[in-house]
Structure 1
Amino acid sequence: MMSDVLDTRPPAGAARTTGRGLAVLVTVLTAAFMDFLDNGIVVLAAPAIQADLGGGSAAMEMTIAGYTLAFALGLVTGGRLGDIVGRKKMFLLGTALFVVTSLGCGPAPSIELLIVARVLQGLSAAAMVPQVLAIIKSAFPPPERLKGPLAAFGAMSGVANVSGPLIAGVLIEHDFAGLGWRVVFLINVPVGVLVLGAALLLVSETRSARPPTLDLLGVGVVTLALLLLLFPLVEGPTLDWPAWIFLVLAASAPVFAWFWSVERCREQQGRSPLLPPSVFANRTLLAGLVVHVLLFSGIASFFMISTITLQAGLDFTVLAAGMTSLPWPIAITVFSGIGLAFVAKLGRNLLSLGAVIMVAGMATLMWSALSNGAELEALDLAPGLALSGIGMAFIAPSLMDLVLAGAGNRDAGAISGVLNTALQVGTALGIALLGVIFFGRLETHGAAQTEHVIDDVRAAAASANVPDNRADDIAVAFGRCFRDHFGEGEIRAMPESCGDAGRLLSAYPELGAAVTEVTDHHRGEVFTRAFAESLLYNVGVFGASFLLIFFLPRRMTAPEPSAENPDTTRNRARPRNHPL
């Protein structure tokens, strides 16, 4: 039996140029964009949600983490179900549920119901997102997949990941229709309905020619293993890393080993494993997955600390912080196609070049932050952001194709789920590790800067003719407030000591503006120094990616589909020049 790709694909170039092929691509990428965006935009809406619905920091954390955990835990199973029942069916089901759960999040009357809706939204995304790459793999033969669809996917994922602050700023600050924060969920409803309609009309059904059965034991064991791995990474920073978190994290290793044993046993018995271990004998696939983990570990963590630095340290609005990040997605959009035009000629050297450029981008950002300190502006960051975006554009699309090419069409959904899970693991790992580094540097620099705050507040008080004894009291009080603001590795909005300092200052209102200027300047210095030093982590992970790229084959051309591993399609009567 021939695969649907060989049955229905036109000669090289046609899938890329036909209107229907483009429409299918836009449809599935729009669905993926909703998930990428929703995964991060809620972080920026959290203060508004808390102000409206109440709930403490733990509830806010669950609003964010509930989606992330549910999404990551369901990806592998969602991908495998696409191989079994059909990728179009699972895509439609996941998208429909995503619309319904978004509609549940928007009008949520309480924080508890919002958390439940967010968990269900994450599960629906886990059914939808793995089908995107699986549909692309089935609908486009390797040469066209690499040149067009995966370039678009790489550009989309990069743009969606880094445009969250910008879109959140526009939606929240402009308060469309008086909906406030609720619009960040409700906007998914009309978009999702359009995606559903387009997918029903345009996307052809594909599934494995010999559909595997669902490995229920494997589903249970891998879900447990991922929970033991991801829960500590997501919740550890909030819980201040108690000892039991590390025990839970360590427990994931034997459970993953158990999962591997279960899958190997099923494969040896000729039964359908959730993830065939033989697929992972492919060095290219393994190296590609590890590079993905490292790459997104660096990217997600960078945007976490840059957003905090711009907003909490330099008083950028949400919208201004989003606008500052624009050079990165613009560079990805422009250079993804350029990179893929040279990948056949340069092979893995193009990916190596991309990693080097990303390291150069991080180094440029470090230099900009250290050079400008509290005077850092958006334009100062633009060169480093653009370099990082160019580097990512050279790596991401080709790397995705290599990972997908490591598995045949029969396992396309499962491997797509593994790829997306790797991205989630990388994201959680990067945020957890760099969060510890960044907040630790904030505490260190906050303590070191305290004496400068005291001296400058004292000088300002003297200039305002405040009596010496009162000037000393005010200066020491604001020094204590400043130190406590960065104490214990977290950012405290209003430590108790700041209230004491404010009461002392109230007797001298003419001094208020000068003290604010002093504390704002030193706060900016602390944040920019911590930001710059923390970027050494990003330099390290992108440098490690550079080394791992040498485990990939020299040439990046994906193999043609094999008749040994075909898909089936429900419409084999279409003419050979049909786009899908």
Structure 2
Amino acid sequence: MKNNAIQLIVILFAQLLTIMDIFIINVSIPSIQKDIHITNSEMQLIIASYLIGFASFLITGGRMGDLYGRKRIFIIGLVFFMISSIACGLSSNSVFLMVSRFVQGISAALMSPQVLSMIQILFPEQEDRTKAMGWYGITIGIGTLSGQFLGGYFSSLTFMPESWRLIFLINIPICLLAIFFGWKVLDESKNDNNNRFDFYGVLLLASALFCFTYALTMMEHNGERVKNIFLLVISLVVLFLFIKNQKSRIQHGKPYLIDLNLFKFKNFNIGIIAVSFFFIMLDSYFYILSLFFQDGLKISPLHAGEIIVFQGLGFILASIISPKLILCYGKKVLIVGLLVIISVLIAQGYLFSKQSSSLLLYALLFIHGIGVGSIIPSLANIALSGIPEKLAGNASGVYITFQQSAAIVGIIVIGSVFYYYLGTHPGFIDYQKAFVAALLANILCLIIVIICIWKTPADVLIKRK
């Protein structure tokens, strides 16, 4: 168990990087736009490009870990993540930054499924796994906290021009540490029954996911709606061909990318629906909150980062406490957590204004973090409960693909709601209306998550005696 704990710490380095680089760019948006002269639409695409690369290759990354070794793919992902982070830090224009962020997302897609897969393998007992998922949640909280804070801190430094570049270069020492200790302490694991890889399946699925996520990202660009609708139709056709191809390959004993038997597990289906709507809410919330703070409330990037740090502190606290409560009370804890988030969003819609005290902002973000931190680790636990080890990588890749695709949908769809109410020449009242409209959309997503949790079997999360 002690050795397992050490391995858990090492693999959580990758989770820290993955989460930190989703959020670290949010608070730096105005600084990046000013220095390399990019529009709001281009900035949305830069943010989404990481998630597009991530979502397009997560299932591939999970399958590669199953076949070629989870430790090996984990370390390869870290190496390329470090290289692409350097490229992001040296970017001189929006196109180079988009491409670098896309490659960074692909690298994260190689690492991230191995984290959940190895947790399932290292901790087969429900109580130990729940505690490990608690630490997984704590890492997400630290990544969120450090991402928001470092984004604001680096963007506010004055000793060097374009100091926002440090938000990417900070990844280098973390990657080096994770590569070194990963090589030293991680045990290799893979499935020996099939050492072949379905490259045709990768091509079909990656193409479908790329077209889908790219079309959604570009949907609000004027003059491109017909092209984007066409890409969405193409993505659905290719996805249909992919599913048909996978069924045929499984029936004939050929190598496949996704084992469709995953979708026969009720908890897995509930888990991916719940995580999808939860992340539509969560990623869009942070994106819009950063814009509202800095452009609406005229809060500096550093102060905005400091405020959002309190969300991360609440997240970490809940991730420490909630595993024990969940083992005793099960899904009731999750429903309470979701109701807490809904209550906080309503309060923010009413109370956030230019006259809001820092104490109020800190308190509401802290409580929001408590709600979020009590939910995220258990969603993965619900989805992956009862999944056999041979499907661990596959299930992890599919789960996180839905999660990250939902994050893109949230940023684009709810972001579009925000910009619709914002108008072309917004004042503070317009920002406030747009913020409230986006919060209402987020609350609707959370109600759907509550319904999913309610349908989860009562004994999935409670400790078995």
- What is the TM-score normalised by the length of structure 2? 0.92
Whether 1:485 and 2:389 are equivalent positions in the alignment is: no
Whether 1:222 and 2:222 are equivalent positions in the alignment is: no
Greater Rg by CA: 1
Query: What whole-Å deviation, never above 9, does each CA across 1:17-40 have from its counterpart, x for those lacking one?
Result: x2x433322221122211222233
Instruction: Choose from 532, 535, 538 the match for 2:442.
Output: 538
Report the alpha carbon displacement of residue 223 of structure 1 after superposing the two structures with TM. 1.1
Does the 8 Å CA contact 1:77/1:417 hold for their aligned counterparts?
A: yes
Structure 1: distance between partners of 2:217 and 2:107: 20
Q: Tell me, which stretches of 5 or more residues in structure 2 are unaligned?
A: none
CA 184–83 in structure 1, closer or farther in 2 if over 3 Å, else same: same
Whether 1:404 and 2:384 are equivalent positions in the alignment is: yes
What is the 5 A alignment of 1:102-501? 102-109=85-92, 111-161=94-144, 163-175=146-158, 180-211=163-194, 213-239=196-222, 242-369=225-352, 373-443=353-423, 484-486=424-426
| Number of the residue aligned with 2:428 | 524
Report the alpha carbon displacement of residue 48 of structure 1 after superposing the two structures with TM. 3.8
Whether 1:38 and 2:21 are equivalent positions in the alignment is: yes
Amino acid in the other structure paired with 2:387: A
CA 343–55 in structure 1, closer or farther in 2 if over 3 Å, else same: closer
Does the 8 Å CA contact 1:71/1:122 hold for their aligned counterparts?
A: yes
Structure 2: distance between partners of 1:543 and 1:111: 37
Report the alpha carbon displacement of residue 275 of structure 1 after superposing the two structures with TM. 0.9
| Number of the residue aligned with 2:460 | 556
Amino acid in the other structure paired with 2:451: L
Does the 8 Å CA contact 1:84/1:213 hold for their aligned counterparts?
A: yes
Structure 2: distance between partners of 1:258 and 1:119: 25
Amino acid in the other structure paired with 2:62: G
Report the alpha carbon displacement of residue 393 of structure 1 after superposing the two structures with TM. 2.4
CA 413–48 in structure 1, closer or farther in 2 if over 3 Å, else same: same
CA 114–247 in structure 1, closer or farther in 2 if over 3 Å, else same: closer
| Number of the residue aligned with 1:466 | none
Q: Residue 397 of structure 1 aligns to a residue in which SS?
A: helix
Query: What whole-Å deviation, never above 9, does each CA across 1:466-491 have from its counterpart, x for those lacking one?
Result: xxxxxxxxxxxxxxxxxx513xxxxx
CA 352–284 in structure 1, closer or farther in 2 if over 3 Å, else same: same
Does the 8 Å CA contact 2:349/2:439 hold for their aligned counterparts?
A: yes
Report the alpha carbon displacement of residue 317 of structure 1 after superposing the two structures with TM. 0.7
Aligned pair count reads: 464
Q: Residue 485 of structure 1 aligns to a residue in which SS?
A: coil
Q: Residue 366 of structure 1 aligns to a residue in which SS?
A: helix
Report the alpha carbon displacement of residue 332 of structure 1 after superposing the two structures with TM. 1.5
Instruction: Name the % identity.
Output: 27
Amino acid in the other structure paired with 1:526: D
| Number of the residue aligned with 1:70 | 53
Q: Residue 335 of structure 1 aligns to a residue in which SS?
A: helix
Report the alpha carbon displacement of residue 424 of structure 1 after superposing the two structures with TM. 1.0
The 10-residue stretch of structure 1 (287-296 or 354-363) with the greater mean CA deviation from structure 2: 354-363
Query: What whole-Å deviation, never above 9, does each CA across 1:180-234 have from its counterpart, x for those lacking one?
Result: 2221121111111011111111111111242352122221221122122211222
Instruction: Choose from 87, 96, 99 the match for 2:82.
Output: 99
Structure 2: distance between partners of 1:212 and 1:403: 26
CA 45–393 in structure 1, closer or farther in 2 if over 3 Å, else same: closer
Query: What whole-Å deviation, never above 9, does each CA across 1:552-580 have from its counterpart, x for those lacking one?
Result: 211124999xxxxxxxxxxxxxxxxxxxx
CA 212–546 in structure 1, closer or farther in 2 if over 3 Å, else same: farther
Report the alpha carbon displacement of residue 418 of structure 1 after superposing the two structures with TM. 1.3
Query: What whole-Å deviation, never above 9, does each CA across 1:36-70 have from its counterpart, x for those lacking one?
Result: 22233234435444554556666655543332222
Amino acid in the other structure paired with 2:354: A
Structure 1: distance between partners of 2:177 and 2:463: 34
CA 308–62 in structure 1, closer or farther in 2 if over 3 Å, else same: closer
* CA-based RMSD: 2.5
Structure 2: distance between partners of 1:387 and 1:29: 25
